[in-house]
C-alpha cells in the first residue's frame, strides 16, 4: 500500500505487517476532528467559533475527553511520521527527500494560511457576527495572513525533519542502537521523566501560551520532540513489532487508573480553591501533578493502541484504504466543516451539549467526505 502524504502517513511502501498503522492514522484523524468539535462546545479557547455548554455535569466528560486526547494524539502523529522518515530519506536521497517534503507539506501549509484560515474566519464574521459583506471585501481588511491554525503540526514536522537531515548529514547520527524494546516499567519511568521536563518547560511556557505566528504551544513540545525521536529509534530497532501483550495488559491498568484519577483534579481545584491555570503552568505542585499524569496516561494509551493495532487491526478493506488515503486532506480541511456545522445549528434553542451530540457524527462524516472529494481533483492529489 503506497500512501501519498508525508504528514499523517508515510510515503514509502509499507510491509503487510504494518497495515495497522494506516488504521491507527484513521482513528487519530477522527480524534482530531472530535477534539476540535468538543473545544467548540466547551469553555476552552483557541478555536474559530465557540458556543460553550452551561451544564457543569457535561463539562467534566468534555474536559476529560479533551485532556486525555491531548495527552497522546498529536505526539502519536509525530511518532508515526518519524517512524518512516529515515527509510524514506534513505530510499529517495537527500535532494529528492527535501523536495518531496517541501512539496507535500509546504504547499498545504501556505494554502491553509492564505486561503482556508481566512475563509473559515470569514464564515464566523458573516454568520455569527452578522457582518454581511463579501469574501473579497473581508479579505481587503484581513491582516492575519500568517495563521497556520491546525497546520502548526505540519510546520513543526518540517522543522523536525530538517533537524533530522542535519543530524544525518552533518553529525552522522544513524538512530540505530542495541536498546531492547521498552517494557511497561521502562515506558512509565520515561513518562515520569517526560512529565518532569514538561513541568519545567511549563513554568515559563504554560499550556495555552502560543509562539506566534508559528502557532506552537511550547508547553507540549517536550512530548512532541521526544515522540519524534522515539519514532526514529523504533523504526531502526523494530520496537513496534516487539511490544508484548504483557506490556499492553500492564499499561491498560495504568491507563484506567490515570483515567479515574482525572476526577481528583476537580476535587483539588474545589478544595484548594485555586485558579484552573495552575494546572497549565507556573511553579505549582498542581502543575507538576498534571504534567506527570498527562504523560503517564498518554504513553499508556499510545502503547496500547500500537499493540492492539498490530494484533487486531492489521487488515485493510477498500473503505479503510480510502479513509487512510483521505486522512491528510481531511485533517487540512476539517476546521471548515466544523465551523460550517456549528454555525448552521447556532440558532437551535437547546444547550450546546445537545448540539455536540447531534453534529459530531455529521462533522466526522462531512470532513472525510470533503477530504475524499478534494483528493481526486487533478493536481491536488499529487500533493495531498
Under 8 Å between Cβ of 328 and 9: yes
pLDDT tens by residue, 237-248? 999 999 999 999
Length of the chain: 384
Residue 372's alpha-carbon distances to 133, 217, 368, in angstroms, are 30, 30, 6
Helices 318-344 and 19-40, axial angle in degrees (round to 10): 10
Calculate the average pLDDT of the chain: 93
Residue 9 banded pLDDT, cuts 50, 70, 90: very low
Under 8 Å between Cβ of 324 and 9: yes
Which whole number is the average pLDDT over 191-215? Answer: 97
pLDDT tens by residue, 316-332? 999 999 999 999 999 99
Calculate ∠ Cα 283-288-289, nearest 5°. Answer: 140
**Residue 13: beta bridge partners?**
2
Residue 14 banded pLDDT, cuts 50, 70, 90: low
pLDDT tens by residue, 247-273? 999 999 999 999 999 999 999 998 999
pLDDT tens by residue, 206-228? 999 999 999 999 999 999 999 99
CA gap 316, 302 in Å, rounded: 21
Under 8 Å between Cβ of 384 and 327: no
Cβ neighbours of 327 (radius 10 Å): 28
Q: Residue 4: what pLDDT?
A: 37
Q: Residue 11: what pLDDT?
A: 52
Least confident of 10-14, 134-138, 232-236: 10-14
Closest CA to 22 of 228, 363, 367, 328: 328
Least confident of 13-27, 56-70, 326-340: 13-27
Q: Cell numbers for 279, please give them.
A: 494546572
Q: Cell numbers for 263, please give them.
A: 476526577
Q: Cell numbers for 357, please give them.
A: 451530540
Amino acid at each position: 500500500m503506497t500512501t501519498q502524504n508525508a504528514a499523517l502517513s508515510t510515503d514509502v511502501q509499507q510491509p503487510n505487517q504494518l497495515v495497522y498503522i494506516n488504521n491507527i492514522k484513521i482513528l487519530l484523524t477522527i480524534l482530531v476532528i472530535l477534539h476540535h468539535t468538543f473545544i467548540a462546545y466547551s469553555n476552552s479557547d483557541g478555536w474559530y467559533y465557540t458556543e460553550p455548554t452551561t451544564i457543569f455535569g457535561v463539562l467534566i466528560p468534555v474536559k476529560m475527553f479533551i485532556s486525555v486526547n491531548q495527552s497522546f494524539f498529536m505526539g502519536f502523529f509525530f511518532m508515526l511520521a518519524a517512524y518512516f522518515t529515515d527509510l524514506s530519506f534513505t530510499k529517495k536521497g537527500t535532494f529528492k527527500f527535501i523536495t518531496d517534503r517541501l512539496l507535500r507539506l509546504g504547499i498545504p501549509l501556505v494554502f491553509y494560511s492564505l486561503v482556508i484560515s481566512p475563509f473559515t474566519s470569514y464564515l464566523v464574521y458573516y454568520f455569527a457576527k452578522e457582518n454581511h459583506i463579501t469574501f473579497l471585501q473581508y479579505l481587503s481588511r484581513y491582516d492575519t495572513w500568517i495563521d497556520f491554525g491546525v497546520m502548526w503540526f505540519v510546520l513543526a514536522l518540517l522543522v523536525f525533519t530538517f533537524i533530522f537531515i542535519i543530524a544525518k548529514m552533518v553529525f552522522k547520527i544513524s538512530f540505530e542502537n542495541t536498546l531492547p524494546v521498552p517494557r511497561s516499567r521502562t515506558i512509565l519511568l520515561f513518562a515520569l521523566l517526560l512529565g518532569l521536563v514538561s513541568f519545567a518547560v511549563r513554568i515559563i511556557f504554560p499550556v495555552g501560551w502560543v509562539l506566534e505566528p508559528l502557532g506552537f504551544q511550547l508547553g507540549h513540545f517536550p512530548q512532541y520532540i521526544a515522540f519524534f525521536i522515539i519514532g526514529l529509534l523504533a523504526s531502526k530497532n523494530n520496537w513496534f513489532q516487539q511490544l508484548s501483550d504483557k506490556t499492553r495488559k500492564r499499561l491498560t491498568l495504568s491507563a484506567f487508573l490515570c483515567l479515574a484519577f482525572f476526577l481528583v483534579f476537580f476535587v483539588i481545584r474545589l478544595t484548594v480553591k485555586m485558579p484552573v491555570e495552575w494546572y497549565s503552568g507556573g511553579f505549582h505542585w498542581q502543575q507538576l501533578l498534571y504534567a506527570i499524569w498527562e504523560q503517564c496516561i498518554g504513553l499508556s494509551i499510545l502503547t496500547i493502541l500500537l499493540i492492539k493495532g498490530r494484533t487486531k487491526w492489521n487488515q485493510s478493506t477498500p473503505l479503510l484504504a480510502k479513509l487512510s488515503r483521505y486522512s491528510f486532506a481531511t485533517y487540512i480541511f476539517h476546521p471548515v466543516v466544523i465551523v460550517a456545522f456549528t454555525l448552521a445549528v447556532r440558532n437551535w434553542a437547546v444547550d450546546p451539549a445537545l448540539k455536540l451530540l447531534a453534529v459530531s457524527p455529521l462533522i466526522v462524516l462531512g470532513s472525510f467526505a470533503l477530504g475524499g472529494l478534494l483528493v481526486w481533483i487533478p493536481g491536488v492529489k499529487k500533493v495531498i
